């Protein structure tokens, strides 16, 4: 990727990690955030070259930064993305490429591509990386090395923009890049990400015994790690993908009911078959990684 | 703990890890296993000082090893423990202490204490440590450092035996020791261990899309790590604790249904409340550990 000026809008955990990685790669990176502290923190550490606060008092600075940026990364919450872009798209540089980090796609992409200026292009993407903490202060571009980067173009996107998103993923250091439709994305994410969070939350909420902490093993800690959840972000993600998530919850409920029924019936052969199937499927997901006990 | 001769019966992952730790602590450790390869492996590496195969052809050796052991650790599967001990208890040394590693207690403890010779004592315990692999070849006494050790005495146990089990946990290096009843143990384990395995298995079985591996993030890997499961051991554990596990599954199902209902109703405040509750509860379980991303 040739040197580009990036403007990161929303300098949180992901936006901050993008800024870190892109600055290291020699790009000029600027940022816009509602939190002055986020901008100051990133400027002090050289993670961004310039930045300003989106507080209504710095619109001139915002216009300057967006007008200079060949690429804009929207690190905003799902519900904020389209409204922000609709209000600010007049400030974008002609020919700019816009992408995002949003974990749901159908709810966002059609809307944005429906109103966006014809001389800029929005190529949707979703870096599947995160932590149970937020803010640029916790940013860490090492998050990307083991992770998947998803690109979800529509018929309105150009091959050049898809190619650019792939280059971006490579610059950020993602292990794997996939291109899929917004529909496929939301169905898959309903299973591998949203359902897992719904399960972790429900598992944590199912029992209120305060002594459990004395007894837990690693399996319980692993299953509930993501029960620490950003309520605002995740309620937006869940509601924006309600149909897919509900279908995945119901498919999971059916699998759990199947296990419970075999247990009640004393069906040893049936229970073992479930265990063999889950073992065989899970083995496909193994990968060598530091700290991976199964490697 | 004063130097004792230990005999490990069942030199698998846990039995082998016990042997490793106890040998390092200066105890003489011997072992009995149905697999000659397990005994040979441990002898070659100095993990045990002596050992023999339980194959009907080495009963003299078995009598010698058991007769010399002041402490016997039964590293057997739940269904094998009582039958083995009933058949072999005549070989135990008078005054010997017997313990185990069994993950269910009600199904085993009453039976064993019901038939056991009066001049030996069985003090039940459960080391909450494990891996997704089996066999002495995968033994590793570092498993114990972050883990909990549970002792489940009955009215038939002496305070001296409970004190000995605590010393044993300390020698093995467990982080935390708890004493609880067999009933409390099985209820708790139904939640923190068996329910989590039932969930992981069902999550893995709920969707057969082979492309999912391209898309998964860490949360899915964490939740399904334990879906690789030893079918024989875990079907025994599940059936031996069927009532408690079924109750925990149903409590979890109710929590998940609650979440699904709030999602369907568009109840944003209710969904956020579930997220806040799970976040607050999960924080109690945090501990600093290498590789713990939340620390």
Lowest mean pLDDT among A12-21, B221-230, B239-248, B281-290: B281-290
Q: Is-contact B217 A193, C-beta < 8 A?
A: yes
CA dist., res. A278 & res. B228, Å (int): 6
d(CA A83, CA A48): 25
CB pairs under 8 A between A and B: 299
Burial zone of A105 (CB within 10 Å; 0-12 exposed, 13-18 middle, 19+ buried): buried
pLDDT of residue A85 exceeding 60, the answer is yes
Q: Whole-number mean pLDDT of chain A?
A: 93
Residues of chain A above pLDDT 90, percent: 84
What's the pLDDT score for residue A287? Answer: 64
Q: B196 vs A219: CB contact, 8 Å cut-off?
A: yes
pLDDT digits (tens, 9 = 90+) for B221-231: 888 889 999 99
- Whether residue A65 is predicted with pLDDT greater than 90 in this model: the reply is yes
**Which range (A258-267, B208-217, B232-241) has the least confidence?**
B208-217
Chain B residues within an 8 Å CB radius of A258:
202, 205
Q: How far apart are CA A131 and CA A138, in angstroms?
A: 9
pLDDT above 50: residue B283: yes
Query: How much is the pLDDT for B247?
Result: 96
pLDDT at A13 over 50: yes
Q: Which tokens is A275 given?
A: 């265990």
Q: Choose the CATH number for A5-180 among 3.40.50.720, 3.40.640.10, 3.40.50.150, 3.65.10.10.
A: 3.40.50.720
In this prediction, residues A150-174 reach a mean pLDDT of: 97
Q: Is B203 on the interface with A (CB under 8 A)?
A: yes
B233 touches A at CB < 8 Å: no
pLDDT higher than 70, residue A82 = yes
Residue B145 touches chain A, beta carbons under 8 Å = no
pLDDT at B295 over 60: no
Mean model confidence pLDDT for chain B: 93
Can B5-180 and B185-283 be said to share one CATH topology?
Answer: no
Q: Which CATH architecture has domain B185-283?
A: Orthogonal Bundle (1.10)
Average pLDDT of the segment spanning A223-244:
94
Question: Is A199's pLDDT higher than 60?
Answer: yes
Q: Give per-residue pLDDT as tens, B71-104.
A: 999 999 999 999 999 999 999 999 999 999 999 9
User: Which of the residues B101, B189, B226, B250 would you substitute to probe the A interface, choosing the one with the greatest number of A C-beta atoms within 10 Å?
Assistant: B226
Q: What is the pLDDT of residue B1?
A: 82
Residue A159 confidence class, pLDDT cut points 50, 70, 90:
very high
pLDDT of A44 higher than 70: yes
Query: Each residue of B26-40: pLDDT tens digit?
Result: 999 999 999 999 999
Given pLDDT bands bounded at 50, 70 and 90, which one contains residue B287?
low
For residue B129, the SS3 value is coil
Residue A266 confidence (pLDDT) above 80? yes
- pLDDT, mean of residues B24-53: 98
B214–A178 CB contact, under 8 Å: yes
Higher pLDDT, B71 or A294: B71
Q: Does the pLDDT of residue B10 top 80, yes or no?
A: yes
**pLDDT at residue B267 tops 70:** yes
Give the per-residue pLDDT at B146.
87
Across A158-172, B7-21, B206-220, B280-294, least confident range: B280-294
Question: What is the pLDDT at residue B293?
Answer: 37
Whether chain A has a CB inside 8 Å of the CB on B57: the answer is no
pLDDT at residue A194 is higher than 90: yes
Question: What residue spans define the domains of chain A?
Answer: 5-180, 185-283
Strand, helix or coil at B234?
helix
Q: Choose the closest CB to B252 out of A197, A203, A249.
A: A203
> Using alpha carbons only, how large is chain B's radius of gyration in Å?
21
Say whether A279 and B228 touch across the interface (CB within 8 A).
Answer: yes
Read off the pLDDT of residues A99-112 as tens digits, 9 standing for 90 and up: 999 999 999 999 99
**C-alpha distance from residue A270 to each of A263, A295, B193, B228 (Å):** 9, 28, 21, 16
- Candidates A136, A145, A137, A79; CA nearest to A112 is A79
Q: Is the pLDDT of residue A17 over 80?
A: yes
| Strand runs labelled E in chain A | 5-9, 28-33, 50-53, 71-74, 97-100, 121-122, 125-128, 148-151, 176-179
**Would the pLDDT of A291 be above 70?**
no
Instruction: Answer yes or no: is pLDDT of A221 > 90.
Output: no
> Is pLDDT at A254 greater than 60 in this prediction?
yes
Predicted local distance difference test score (pLDDT) of residue A293: 37
What's the pLDDT score for residue A219?
Answer: 78
């Amino acid at each position: 990727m040739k040197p580009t000026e990036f403007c990161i809008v929303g300098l949180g955990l992901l936006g901050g990690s993008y800024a870190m990685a892109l600055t290291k790669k020699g790009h000029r990176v600027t940022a816009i955030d509602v939190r002055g502290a986020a901008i100051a923190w990133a400027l002090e550490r050289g993670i961004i070259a310039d930045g300003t606060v989106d507080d209504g008092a710095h619109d001139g600075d915002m216009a300057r930064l967006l007008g200079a940026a060949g690429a804009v990364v929207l690190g905003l919450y799902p519900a904020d993305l389209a409204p922000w872009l609709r209000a600010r798209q007049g400030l974008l540089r002609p020919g700019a490429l816009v992408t995002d980090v949003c974990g749901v796609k159908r709810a966002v992409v059609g809307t944005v591509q429906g109103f966006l200026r014809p001389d800029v292009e929005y190529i949707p993407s979703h870096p599947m990386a995160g932590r149970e903490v937020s803010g640029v202060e916790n940013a860490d571009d090492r998050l990307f090395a083991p992770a998947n980067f998803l690109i979800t173009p529509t018929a309105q996107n150009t091959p050049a923009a898809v190619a650019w998103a792939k280059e971006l993923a490579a610059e950020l250091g993602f292990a794997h890049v996939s291109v899929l439709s917004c529909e496929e994305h939301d169905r898959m994410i309903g299973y591998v990400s949203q359902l897992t969070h719904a399960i972790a939350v429900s598992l944590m909420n199912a029992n209120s015994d305060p002594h459990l902490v004395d007894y837990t093993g690693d399996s319980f800690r692993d299953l509930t790690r993501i029960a620490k959840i950003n309520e605002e972000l995740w309620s937006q993600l869940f509601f924006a993908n309600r149909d897919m998530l509900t279908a995945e919850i119901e498919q999971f409920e059916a699998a759990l009911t199947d296990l419970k029924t075999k247990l009640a019936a004393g069906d040893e052969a049936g229970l073992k078959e479930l265990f063999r199937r889950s073992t065989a499927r899970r083995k496909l997901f193994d990968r060598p990684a530091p700290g991976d006990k199964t490697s």
